[in-house]
Structure 1
Amino acid sequence: MTTDTPPPASAAPELEGWRHAYSGKVRDLYVPANDPATDVASAGRLLVVASDRVSAFDHVLEPGIPGKGELLTTLSLWWFDRLSAVPNHLVPDHSLGDDARSAIPAAVAGRAMLCKTLDMYPIECVVRGYLTGSGWKEYQQSQTVCGIRLPAGLANGDRLPEPLYTPAWKAPMGEHDENISFERTVELVGAEAAEALRDLSLSIFRTATDIAEAAGVILADTKFEFGADRATGELTLADEVLTSDSSRYWDAETWRAGGTPEERMASFDKQIVRDWLSTHWDGTGTPPELPADIVERTAARYRELLERLTA
């Protein structure tokens, strides 16, 4: 099955004690079975389950990547632990076990997080440390990235003089997210929240960059999502964090060695899938099924990143 909309509810497993509430392209959300909430936003707690589904170019592809959900959840939890100074959406003691872990059904153990419900900000907080991807395309045309002027003479894959905060508006389901200016975020969430989102995103990025570099890995860019704690109003880190689905990671030694952009910037993520799909599909109709070797190579890259960072 391929689709440009979230999978049907039937794609999500039935879990004892939990009621399926929503499925995104790669994650399934559940509320407690005894919670009278009629939607995710009004629930007291959520179970966020990472599936093995893989998406590219707004389509969910077949087959999935075996073990992907557990790998990404493990990496998120590892990063939350290293960012302990930043409030996050995990129910207290999630990583330690006890009540939180026992509430997670065995069927999804290892790929689920028990989370507090937050009042989410409609902003994807993107931070770029290197010139690549859509930023490189824009730079070639206008010497800017998301409208921010950069020095002349930069090449694809170069480290930026300073990390750039380039927020995006989280569009409603079925629409594409839209890059926006900082001034637009002020209009959307107010000056105080906009400044806090920017400053905390840049701070987390710098901390994560140092940790990754110590493991011989470059964090090229990433996105964060935040919400307000409903009890305290405190700015709280949510969703997945610094995974290979939300971030672009490169091998530092390979990047320094030079060569073609493809060699320097081989990502620890689903770029293998994107590259194969770009070559074998013209973007119309139903995308082809992923061959076994592409699935295996992608799974290996996910595993390698986790091993490199957490060794």
Structure 2
Amino acid sequence: MTERRPYPSDLSDARWELIEPVLTDWRAERRSRALNIGRPPEHDLRTILDAILYVDRTGVQWRYLPHDFPPWETVYGYFAKWEKDGVFAQLSGLLRSLLREHEGRNAEPSACVMDAQSVKTSTSVPATSQGTDAGKKIVGRKRSIVTDTLGLILAVLVTAASVQDSVAGTSLIDTVAAEHPAIRKVWVDGGYRQHLVEHAAALGIDMEITQRKPGTRGFTPIPKRWAVERTYGWLMFHRRLARDYEALPTRSEAVIHLAMTDLMARRLTGETTVSWRDPTPQDETQSTE
């Protein structure tokens, strides 16, 4: 069998070295619980993850995976198992800690930023998991995320677009308080209500609502909150996130964690994120993040 030609989305050896221990441990743990181990796995974990990253990066349907990858049913099966077992969230958390230390920060942040983004959905998304964001006039889902001040995701929650920011924010604040006890400060925009500020205070977190100056028009970065806006920009490098294509909200959350894993692994290894703006291979040496 001839070796397949690599795609720009494929993992480099350096990035695979960061990710491989988590996936290897996952496979070993699952095989240890199996009643009948049977024959060894047919497909390499790195190839499986390359195929999933190809979908995340290019936005193609699972059935349209190139034939030099394993069968799409196999790839999607691994994606579903890794989502259910929390592997993507685990990878995102591991690389976030490594990257924060690489940037000279403590592994655990003490401040964060929260924001929400409403996106349209594809026809494959069940109507029961969609809603209408009346303010933005979008029918679809809402992605609520919490990032540290570097823009690295701490928590993500995907809901129907009709869910109010404060409702999703309450769940996220509870998650952040439980998983990141060092957090003492969070910045949000004016879409979050006073009762959420009080809820955060009860958890020992100071929530500050930051708003644009009166009379400001067009896009204007807001101090402290610009980090989370930049994160949404990073995520858009992955075309699977241009809309919400996932049947389950938890799968949407997994795709977001996967995109951040890809971005953080590239930053840790000093590699660039290739975008459509790069007309020639020579431009791959220039960072597009």
Q: Counting strand residues as a fraction of each chain, which structure ranks higher?
A: 1
Question: Whose RCO is larger (CA < 8 A, sep 6+)?
Answer: 2
TM range (shorter): under 0.3
Normalising by structure 2, report the TM-score: 0.28
**TM-score, with length taken from structure 1:** 0.26
